[in-house]
Amino acid sequence: MELDACDLYAGVEHIKIIVKQLRGYAQHSLTNKAAGALTFATVKAIKKICDTAAGSDSHLYERTTKQDGWTYIRTLQCGKKLQIMRSTGKHTNSILSFLEWAKENIPDFVKHRPLHMDQVEKLKFFTALESISSLETDCCQMEMLHISDHVIRLLRLKQFGDVLSRNVLADLILIGLNKNGQYVSALSPTYRKNASARNT
């Protein structure tokens, strides 16, 4: 996770690491308390990794607000940032970056706007990413969602063959989009207001 020593992150100014908050799962004998403890331990480990990568001369900014929740940012001397965020795993706002595709391919999710896509919807999304990445074009994107060269290479290897892996990866990508889109704050309220007006 050394920003200056890795070509993969060389051009990245701000890396956001999102930790999904786990819930209890009876089928796996995981209680809510145990899930919370595991999430807390994960955040603690990621903080240590970020602190080490940023170095002792970095600047720490940590805050908790009602709107954004908990935020942890390490700013390096060169200006690059490492940020840790927690997420409950929502997908609702993620579709704003590929809304036209979503309207056509997962219309129920667009219409009802639940917190999470179901397994079929996540699989459709991941399959769409694979299809776009397989095209021989200079710019692989799905509307506002741009796919990096590194991700394109991974998708072209076709190493995510089983449904479980594809759904898990789709879930993580959607969570990242939900938390990461700077345009979401402006678009989401307007989109919801317009959708409500259409439904009345």
From CA 11, how far away is CA 132, in angstroms rounded? 23
Band of residue 117 on the pLDDT scale cut at 50, 70, 90: very high
Tens of pLDDT, residues 95-110: 988 999 999 999 999 9
Residues 112 and 195 in one domain: yes
Domain end: 87, 112, 131, which one? 87
- Cα distances (angstroms) measured from residue 42 to each of 25, 61, 143: 18, 19, 33
148-153: average pLDDT: 85
Given pLDDT bands bounded at 50, 70 and 90, which one contains residue 10?
A: low
Quick check: 141 pLDDT over 80? yes
Task: Give the CA angle between residues 126, 188, 98 to the nearest 5°.
Answer: 30
- Tokens 């939900």 sit at which residue? 178
CB count within 10 Å of CB 109 equals: 21
Looking at the structure of the chain, the number of domains it has is 2
Q: Are residues 80 and 172 in the same domain?
A: no
**Residue-averaged pLDDT of the chain:** 82
Contacts (Cβ under 8 Å, ≥6 apart) of 183: 96, 97, 144
For residue 134, is pLDDT > 80?
Answer: yes
Percent of the chain with pLDDT over 90: 34
The pLDDT, as a whole number, for residue 156 is: 86
Q: Which domain does 144 fall in, by range?
A: 92-199
Say what the pLDDT of residue 187 is: 47
| Residues 14-60 pLDDT 10s | 888 888 888 777 666 788 898 889 999 999 999 999 999 888 999 99
Same domain, 27 and 108: no
76 and 150, same domain (yes or no): no
* Residue 69 pLDDT > 70: yes
The verdict on 110 and 80 lying in the same domain is no
